[in-house]
Amino acid sequence: MSDAPDFFDELSGYDGAPRGPYADFCSWFDRQDPARLRRKSKEAEVFFRRTGITFNVYGQQEASERLIPFDIVPRIISAREWARLTRGIEQRVRAINAFLHDIYHRQEILRAGRIPVELIARNEAFLPQMIGVSPPGGIYTHIVGTDIVRTGEDDFFVLEDNARTPSGVSYMLENRETMLQMFPELFSRVPVREVGDYPKMLRRSLAACAPPACTGRPVVAVLTPGIHNSAYFEHSFLADQMGVELVEGDDLRLVDGRVAMRTTQGYTPIDVLYRRIDDDYLDPLNFNPASMLGVPGILDAYRAGQITIANAPGTGIADDKAIYSYMPDIVEFYTGEKAILKNVPTWRCSEPDSLAYVLEHLPELVVKEVHGSGGYGMLVGPAASKREIAAFADKLKSKPAAYIAQPTLALSTVPVMTRSGLAPRHVDLRPFVLVSPNRIDITPGGLTRVAMKAGSLVVNSSQGGGTKDTWVLEE
Amino acid sequence: MLGKTAGGLFWMFRFLERSENTARLVDAGFRIALTRSMAAEAEWASVVGTAGVRDGYLAKYDEFRAASVVDFLLRDRSNPSSVMSAIDSARSNARLVRTALTREVWEATNECWMAMKEVLRRPVSENDLPDVLATIRRQNALVRGALTGTMLRNDIYNFAHLGTFVERADNTARILDVKYYVLLPSVSFVGSSLDNVQWETILRSVSAQRAYRWLSDGDANPKQIANMIILDQRMPRSLAFCTGQIRENLNLLAANYGVRLACHDQAEAAEQRLLDNSIDTIFENGLHQFLSDFIVSNRALGLRIEQDYRFYG
């Protein structure tokens, strides 16, 4: 089944025989009529279009709505694998919250010399306005989407921590819904853990972090930049699933010191705002004055304990790509334990030795912008032409501190349905983590992104990547 | 509910209603053009006038030819009232208020939009026109059915209905206003084939041919037609029916929120003004004047509702 033995295939390992977690699925799959499965694949697309699960693509002429390709072969994770992943993720998320609290208060980690001071001081993701501010419940990152890649039977790496406003959870939920509709019989054969509780848990988690000013049942709302945002579908989906209002900046204003939304009956205060806009746009009075998306003065209300903002402003300093390479130290510093999940080795191009190495080895490396996201502006060395590499080298030399480089990982593959049968494609995994004062919940599963092109290592949806339903098996 | 959401619902259903009425106007025009090719150009001109897009049309075309009128009214995105533009706007508003809609209503709206994009992808030929118009009506009916079948009867439902009936009242009044001269007794020659066709067009424009057969004694009679379309509360596109629905939905909002606002008095006064008339007094005082006044007061009521319920910041 696997014609790429250089990579670990999660279905067939290196030798071709189905691995344990896939056994039940394979015995079902082998008895299916391939033509029927292909028909089902088409059905899935119709289902997504009708539901309106689309995303807008930036940088295209017409504000077009595109579907993210969905593949019907699930990505399956055993209970044992999942247990280890969750321990590692939980450890990392605890460390991130401790780090954020420290970095905006006593800065012990800088005093201890574990992270260079200038990395924080000169970092745009560090918000001086947050110094000395303690968020309600002590939580900075209520929602985290930890990107994980796998390279072998026991080799998992954290690629990114996504502690700002991770997206994709709506696809996790809709992918499962689609699979349940298309292959109900499969779920009676394979014991798959449920993901559908996520919206309920998200709401509970947000409500548990209500600010001091909240007196009754916490009023929660989702803040979106609007219908033209690429993730608008997800924003409205989550608001709908939680049963809370979906607001935009122009629905909100400060009334008696509290952030309130304009309703048909006047202004109603909001207790917890799950914002899906970046820090920079959150408050034109305190951040980018040109922002039309935010709420003037919301940061002042926040600092006065009048509202909870999730995630807290300034969390970006924890998932900054320049900070990433220090994560093993950060985990150890705050938890006193070694990191359970590995980091990908990272060269900081700001350091002359590293830069020299990176420039010499560009064809083998993946180079990312420190402040970039979504796969924009990155170089995948092995897939790039000579000319692209030369052009990138120039960019790198002119602004080395803006880049980090990592080895090209031998990402694991999972088969996808193609016209000529199953074929391996590279995947990553984004589990979703909810943090509240007394607990951390990790939904069993997450978003599996898959590069739809043979050999491609880029899984980002903005670059043509697709998704799969992700199954975590019961014990 | 957010003011913005109320506004989004109101406009979503105004645009859906508009798309259906535009399709119905095209249907009526098409029918006349088929049966009376001599009068076709004048008929298409009056269809464009009724849709309220005469200036936009004349900026683009010199003559009222069937193909260009049909294209302008169904497909042209530079015409904000074309069926395609209206469905686009309805869907944008539906996305905006997605959290207020059931999955069924959202999907019906989204499917309506997808179906329209498909059938209106290319200019519509005369042969395909009946099918396309039927598709528009059917898709609209599916949204309405999903709304009736799945939505809670709360403020969301009321704002949706207000949009439908404010738009419909406006459309019905404009259909009559463009054709009012054929209803005037002074120029009517009872039984003449011209008038029969004109009256038929009016009835067809408000989907009332069948209702008229059952409610009247069978003879086409301008006063009876006008009476049915203006004052008959059983006729779902009549002005009386629309104003009744507007008043009722506003009163439900007042009861639900426990507050009466300016729009409530305005709606009741408007309905009272309408019902104080008989068809005879309307004709005596001037049908055109009556319809013009109605359109103005209906528009003012729409604006009042927008303000009273804080649609915009």
B310 with A264: Cβ contact below 8 A: yes
Mark the ranges of chain A whose per-residue pLDDT is less than 70: 1-5, 55-64, 372-376
- Given CB atoms, is A49 within the 8 Å cutoff of chain B? yes
CB B71 within 8 A of CB B124: yes
How far is A345 from A2, CA to CA, in rounded Å? 27
Cβ-based neighbours of A371, under 8 Å, separated by 6 or more? A124, A125, A320, A321, A402
Strand A365-369 to strand A379-380: parallel, antiparallel, or no bridges (unpaired)? antiparallel
Specify the amino acid at residue A326. Answer: Y
Among the residue ranges A27-31, A113-117, B91-95, B222-226, the one predicted with the least confidence is B222-226
Task: Check residue B2 and give its pLDDT.
Answer: 96
Task: Please enumerate residues of B whose Cβ is less than 8 A from a Cβ of A.
Answer: 1-6, 92, 95-96, 98-99, 103, 106-107, 110-111, 114, 155, 159, 253, 257, 259, 309-310, 313
Residue A314 DSSP class? T
- The total number of residues shown for chain B amounts to 313
**Do strands A466-472 and A70-77 pair parallel, antiparallel, or not at all (unpaired)?**
parallel
Q: What is the pLDDT of residue B192?
A: 57
pLDDT at residue B218 greater than cutoff 70: no
**Per-residue pLDDT, A376:** 67
Judge whether A137 and A160 are in contact, CB under 8 Å.
Answer: no
| B55 — pLDDT class (breaks 50, 70, 90) | very high
Using the Cβ of A50 and the Cβ atoms of chain B, whether some distance falls under 8 Å is answered with yes
pLDDT at B77 over 50: yes
Evaluate if residue B194 carries a pLDDT over 70.
no
- Four-point Cα dihedral B77, B79, B81, B87, nearest 10: 0
Q: What is the mean pLDDT of residues B48-63?
A: 94
What confidence score (pLDDT) does residue A367 get?
A: 92
Tell whether the model's pLDDT for residue B184 goes beyond 80.
no
Q: Is the pLDDT of residue B186 over 80?
A: no
Give A235→chain B minimum CA distance, Å: 10
Beta-bridge mates of residue A74: none
Q: What is the mean pLDDT of residues B60-67?
A: 94
- Looking at residue A374, its pLDDT comes to 56
The number of beta carbons lying within 10 Å of the beta carbon of residue A13 is: 18
Of A233-247, B19-33, B250-264, least confident by mean pLDDT is B19-33
Q: Which residues 226-285 of A are in CB contact (within 8 Å) with B?
A: 227, 232, 236-237, 239-240, 245-248, 250-251, 253, 261-266
Position A375: which residue type? G
What pLDDT score was predicted for residue A61?
A: 41
Dihedral (Cα; A70, A197, A247, A311), 10-degree rounding: -90
Q: What is the pTM of this model?
A: 0.89
Helices (H), chain B: 3-35, 40-50, 54-60, 66-74, 83-96, 103-119, 129-150, 155-183, 193-205, 209-215, 222-231, 239-257, 262-275, 279-285, 287-308
Contact (Cβ atoms closer than 8 angstroms) between residue A283 and residue A301: no
The C-alpha of B107 sits at a distance from chain A's nearest C-alpha, in angstroms, of 6
3-state SS assignment for residue A165: coil
**pLDDT value for A4:** 45
Of A66-70, B75-79, B107-111, least confident by mean pLDDT is: A66-70
Closest CA to A299 of A316, A275, A268, A318: A275
Residue B111: list chain A partners with CB under 8 A.
50
Q: Where is average pLDDT lowest: A403-412, B34-43, B49-58, B268-277?
A: B34-43
Give residue B261's pLDDT.
Answer: 97
Residue B37 has what pLDDT?
66
